[in-house]
Structure 1
């Protein structure tokens, strides 16, 4: 498991978080079985392998907002940036920008509410399929490991904050500014699943590694920006058809439980970060306990799944 603050990366080994990297601007993480990839706000990537941190010269000058470790041997990593481009990093070579993603006609409709550049906010993958969440601009999909791209059917809220795959062919989850949407056909159609959610402004979503119907999602009253938006965590055991708020042992959060702040590990243990506190659940999100107090606000957690690597 990887746990990151803005300037420190920790791995969970023998039940204890151990610092592995001290570097400014950590933004996103993806953990593999033998190596992991860390994206930075200055456009660089660090690969963690055999206990060693190996900086990769990507040649990217923009912030890396999302990262997907497609292959460990040979190394292949997809990077999503702000402004919205997708790059492929192969081994030690500089990252190459994927032209088919840049050629998408729908790019002209992507935007942000504040007028800044859109971003590839999250990436998710399963087998050869890759999904890129555009903030704001729905989800793009690739059936061939990022070589070619097209938009999903846009029957979901366009303001997507995180996309996640599941251990079931075709299953896809998206947490949006209007709660959770689910697809069972790689994004060709969508079902809006919001029953039981007290608020519908969604942020993070995470799926159990062996049960595609078991998931966590965070919601709040809005984007935040220093306000008390009452971030809440919910769990579902029926693919989001019904939701139950996580109350046992889980704290009240004033801000959002943000993108990349929740995860399931390979054993099905759930993890969630609220500011600088990491919480743990052994019963699929129903009850929680405080696990670790980080030295700063946690920006991301990531756990290794197979995902076809």
Structure 2
């Protein structure tokens, strides 16, 4: 498991109770992605830091002018990084290259003219997710989800039945066809790679959503966060768990804050391959071996936790870990 904070990257073996260990110091780190061989994190100044086994390999300055908001490690058919930015641009950085180049098919999407933000600033590629069959999904805030079925070469928009104000997109290694989104109107799920969507926010009251996480081995088990809205002295942020694809939801409050003043944000919830649930509130990292049961404070970080990653990996003998 990788834990990103405003001051650096920490690693932890989710199968143990050992506390996370510092792996690299980063200034206001923004986002992280895990791959089979390489992991990547992005600092606030746009510097890309590559890791292997939780240990720093190298740092890259790739010459992207826009602030980087999301990163995705892809290792097939060729190793590369996809980088989503403000201005809703998507860049590709092939392994071994010195600079990233814009993805022209993403820039040329006809729907780009309708992308916006409520406050009048530039839209952004807020999150990225990949399925094991090569499909990639880019969450445009605000502008819905863009889909690629050929490893990021060409792109199309998801169907308009999805709420356009998407805050996180997620996939499940055990169910390549499924896509999950948390939006300003709570959770939507697609069973056909974004061609159609089913609303799963009824029991969440259609509230403002931020984070969405999926069990990597069980596509029915989800964590989602909702609140009263993006701003305010107390947005009443809450964490919910579902084990039936979002048909029903349980409010998480046994050992976990029943309500938080700030949003539990994009990237701040995760489910590890062993089924444990994880969520960050400020500097505190909470964990539960069964997300429907008791939660406890697992660790208090030296700075605010900004992102969690619990990717399903394959060991050298081919078994999942």
Q: Is the 8 A contact 1:208 1:214 kept in 2?
A: yes
Q: Does residue 251 of structure 2 align to residue 245 of structure 1?
A: yes
Partner of 2:127: 122
CA distance in 2 between partners of 1:132 and 1:218 (Å): 20
Partner of 1:227: 233
Q: Is the 8 A contact 1:41 1:62 kept in 2?
A: no
Q: Give the deviation of 1:268 after TM superposition.
A: 2.0
Q: Is the 8 A contact 1:34 1:72 kept in 2?
A: no
Partner SS for 1:186: coil
Structure-2 change in CA distance of 1:285 and 1:263 (3 Å) = farther
Structure-2 change in CA distance of 1:232 and 1:10 (3 Å) = same
CA distance in 2 between partners of 1:204 and 1:5 (Å): 16
Partner of 1:47: 50
Partner of 1:266: 273
- 1:159-170 equivalences under 5 Å are 159-166=165-172, 167-170=174-177
Partner of 1:194: 201
> Unpaired segments of 5 or more residues in structure 2?
315-321
Q: Does residue 3 of structure 2 align to residue 3 of structure 1?
A: yes
Partner of 2:318: none
Mean CA deviation greater in 203-212 or 70-79: 70-79
Q: Give the deviation of 1:9 after TM superposition.
A: 1.1
CA distance in 2 between partners of 1:171 and 1:273 (Å): 25
TM-score w.r.t. the length of structure 2 is: 0.91
Partner of 1:60: 64
Q: Is the 8 A contact 1:177 1:202 kept in 2?
A: yes
Alignment RMSD (CA, Å): 1.8
TM-score w.r.t. the length of structure 1 is: 0.95
- 1:270-285 equivalences under 5 Å are 270-285=277-292
Partner of 1:140: 146
Q: Give the deviation of 1:5 after TM superposition.
A: 1.3
Partner SS for 1:170: strand
Q: Give the deviation of 1:92 after TM superposition.
A: 2.4
Q: Does residue 299 of structure 2 align to residue 292 of structure 1?
A: yes
CA distance in 1 between partners of 2:57 and 2:9 (Å): 10
Q: Give the deviation of 1:286 after TM superposition.
A: 3.2
Partner SS for 1:100: helix
Output one character per residue of 1:115-143: Cα deviation in whole Å (capped at 9) or x when no partner: 11000000010120000000000000000
Structure-2 change in CA distance of 1:299 and 1:72 (3 Å) = farther
CA distance in 2 between partners of 1:202 and 1:177 (Å): 5
Output one character per residue of 1:27-77: Cα deviation in whole Å (capped at 9) or x when no partner: 001123432100223222110125234112312122111111111896311
CA distance in 1 between partners of 2:91 and 2:42 (Å): 12
Partner of 1:88: 92
Q: Does residue 157 of structure 2 align to residue 154 of structure 1?
A: no
> Unpaired segments of 5 or more residues in structure 1?
none
